[in-house]
Amino acid sequence: MLNVIIFLGSPGSGKGTQAAKLSNAFNYKHISIGDMLRNNVERKTELGLKASGFIDSGALVPDDLIIQVVGKFFEDSASSSDGKIILDGFPRTEPQALALEKIINNLGIALTSVIYLNVTDDEVISRLSERGREDDSPELVLNRLNVYRNQTEPLLKYYSQKNLLKEIDGNRFPDLVFAEITELIGVEA
Ligand code: ADP
**Which pLDDT band holds residue 79 (cuts at 50, 70, 90)?**
low
Pocket test of ligand 1: the residue of 135, 139, 149 to mutate, having most ligand atoms within 8 Å of its CB, is: 135
Q: Is the CB of residue 168 below 6 angstroms from any atom belonging to ligand 1?
A: no
Residue 164: the pLDDT is: 96
Residue range 72-91: mean pLDDT, rounded: 82
- SS3 for 65-93, per residue? HHHHHHHHHHHHHHHHCCCEEEEECCCCC
**Which pLDDT band holds residue 116 (cuts at 50, 70, 90)?**
very high
d(CA 55, CA 107) in angstroms, rounded, equals 30
Nearest to 60 by CA among 160, 150, 170: 150
Residue 78: the pLDDT is: 67
Residue 2: the pLDDT is: 75
Pocket test of ligand 1: the residue of 55, 136, 145 to mutate, having most ligand atoms within 8 Å of its CB, is: 55
Residue 107: the pLDDT is: 86
Per the CB < 8 A criterion, the answer to whether 40 and 48 are in contact is yes
115 versus 109: the higher-pLDDT residue is: 115
Q: Relative to the CA of 144, which ligand 1 atom is closest?
A: 14
Average pLDDT, the chain: 93
Residue range 92-110: mean pLDDT, rounded: 94
**Which pLDDT band holds residue 82 (cuts at 50, 70, 90)?**
low
Residue 186: the pLDDT is: 74
Which residues make beta-bridge pairs with 6? 87, 114
d(CA 156, CA 162) in angstroms, rounded, equals 10
Q: Is the CB of residue 34 below 6 angstroms from any atom belonging to ligand 1?
A: yes
Q: What are 127-167's pLDDT values in tens digits? A: 999 988 899 999 999 999 999 999 999 999 999 999 999 99
Q: Which residues form the catalytic set?
A: 15, 92, 131, 133, 144
d(CA 112, CA 103) in angstroms, rounded, equals 15
Q: Relative to the CA of 133, which ligand 1 atom is closest?
A: 3
Q: Relative to the CA of 70, which ligand 1 atom is closest?
A: 23
Q: Report helix, strand or coil for 27.
A: coil
CA distances (Å), origin 113, targets 12, 20, 54: 20, 16, 29
Residue 54: burial class (beta carbons within 10 Å; 0-12, 13-18, 19+): middle
CB within 8 Å of 185: residues ≥ 6 apart: 5, 22, 112, 113, 115, 166
Q: What are 6-49's pLDDT values in tens digits? A: 999 999 999 999 999 999 998 899 999 999 999 999 999 999 99
**Which pLDDT band holds residue 59 (cuts at 50, 70, 90)?**
very high
